[in-house]
Homo-oligomer: A and B are copies of this chain.
Amino acid sequence: MTRFALTLEFDGAPFFGLQRQSHGPSVQQAVEEAIHAFTGENVRLHSAGRTDSGVHALGMVSHVDVEKPFEAFRFGEAVNAHLRPHPIAVVHCEEKPEDWHARFSCIGRSYEYRIVNRRAPLTLDKGKAWLVTRPLDHEAMHEAAQHLVGRHDFTTFRSVHCQANDPVKTLDQLDVSREGEHVIVRAAARSFLHHQVRSMVGTLSLVGLGQWEPQQVRDVLQAKDRQQLGLNAPPDGLYFMRAIYP
């Protein structure tokens, strides 16, 4: 048996998220079926993160165990060949020891959230960014974001469907910057709660629009009450960027 770590890039638009779902196509199902097509094996894909419907990835890390012998590069190429026409690609493949686990060995995850801040509708970025048509003050957003950095109970910023035992997480980075009409939010932590990034971005956008004072973000964090969440940003703008291992 060989354990292969796959770095995956995908367009989340056509999928009901990364994890296998009974009610629609998932990235997991597409990758497992691609591997079955050339190995005949029923593999199970384990991943560093569980992205939602419509969320994208540039560097998701997943693993599978395969009985038949393959060289890592050839295995990755074969998965890509059988993934067509799904918008999923293996951008890197390497062998890992049996005690290495894409999810449990992961000690850091990072996301990027892309907002296009302009009046005009999206064309080339449709489904790949969140369009906010009123001007965003990215500096106020960045200031507000710093209230969320650190170890906190993130109950306010957590989906009601979140399965984590503990709402306490340590957020290492939450930076907001502007590149022309793009406002980019970069988030890094050991792990995140379900909907945490989208909930934080949505709430920061209210600060950017001038509807909330930066300090209100601290107040709703301290309230530990999902009802006080400002807004959950849509999945279109969210990208899983990197998984970090020791």
Give A residues with C-beta under 8 Å from B. 9-11, 56, 58, 76-77, 80, 83-84, 87-91, 118-124, 126, 128
Contacts and interface: CB of A to CB of B under 8 A. Distances in A.
B119 A77 contact: yes
A84 B123 contact: no
Contacts of A121: 80, 83-84, 89
Contacts of A126: 11, 87
Nearest to A79: B120
15 contacts: A9-B120, A9-B123, A9-B124, A10-B124, A11-B123, A11-B126, A56-B124, A80-B120, A84-B121, A87-B122, A87-B124, A89-B121, A89-B123, A91-B118, A124-B128
A9 to B, nearest CB: 5
A128 B87 CA distance: 13
Nearest to A119: B77
Contacts of A123: 9-11, 87-89
B120 A89 contact: yes
A65 to B, nearest CB: 22
Contacts of A124: 9-11, 56, 58, 87, 128
Contacts of A91: 118, 120
Contacts of A122: 87, 89
A76 B119 CA distance: 10
